Structure 1
Amino acid sequence: MTEIIPSLWFNQNIEEAMKFYTETFPDSSIDNITENDGKVFAAEFTVSGQKFHGINAGPEFTFNEAVSFIVTCASQDEVDHYWNTLSAGGSESRCGWLKDQFGLSWQVVPTRLYELASDPNPARAKGAIDAMMTMAKLSIADLEAGADAAG
């Protein structure tokens, strides 16, 4: 079976990144490390069941928002946990977006947002989206209040 595996370019910190990601998410592991001249050159790791490949290169290329990973969360506790953990040492943005300490972009999104955004009442859906646009870390209660106020 053909497999598609994201490959990430790290600036000489792949070991730190793999440790951080595999400790942050369940069902994660460091699967293979390739060394060259006694230094980590490349590695394969799994994060929340998703396989990744990484190379330990240099500063020539950096991550940007053109590629991000979405973390779907069933509860506000999950949103808070992943938001706080992933943004530590990185930077917070808007609408559930953040960059981690390695510069990788993430979207931490409660599944409730998807439900509200697809509400059959377009006013409620718009109210939830409008509420999202005012937030950094997403709040389920505030998304629901936005939907309720509009519809």
Structure 2
Amino acid sequence: MPNCKGDAQKKAYALALQNRISDLAQKTGVTTLYTDGSCFTRDRVRHTGWGWCLKLRDSKVDHAGGALGPNHTSYDAECYALADGIQWVSRLAAQTSIYLLHIVSDNAGMLQGLLSHWPKGAPSSVMHTARDLCNLASRHEHLDLLLSWCPAHH
């Protein structure tokens, strides 16, 4: 993960990521999965939500989202979004020749947990999502994964 200090560095990184995404969108066989999770409290009740958007090259394939309920965190929601999106990627990879799945998330903790050999203390939601990614990779051996962190709210 980049160690961005301050808004100027985050903006520069976001621009570089935007350029990478634009370059990859021109290539055949590249799909990008954007994920997000959210959490807020209203009247002392926690609300969590998740969403994803899947693109093949520069065309949207599908999107989904929903609520998880009060016993979940934004971390859980982000992991759920990725796990749900992975199922769509698996279906798409069975129908279309895809060689790269680019996952874009603003949750650095989740991305680091996915990259860890054995994420110590990582919530079970990241373990479940990591297992889904491993299953995807084993079913589609030609598929490479690229994980990118994007700054939130930029």
Q: TM-score, normalised by structure 1?
A: 0.28
Structure showing greater Rg: 1
Q: Which has the higher contact order (CA 8 A, sep 6+)?
A: 2
More helix by share: 2
Report the TM-score, using the length of structure 2 for normalisation.
Answer: 0.28
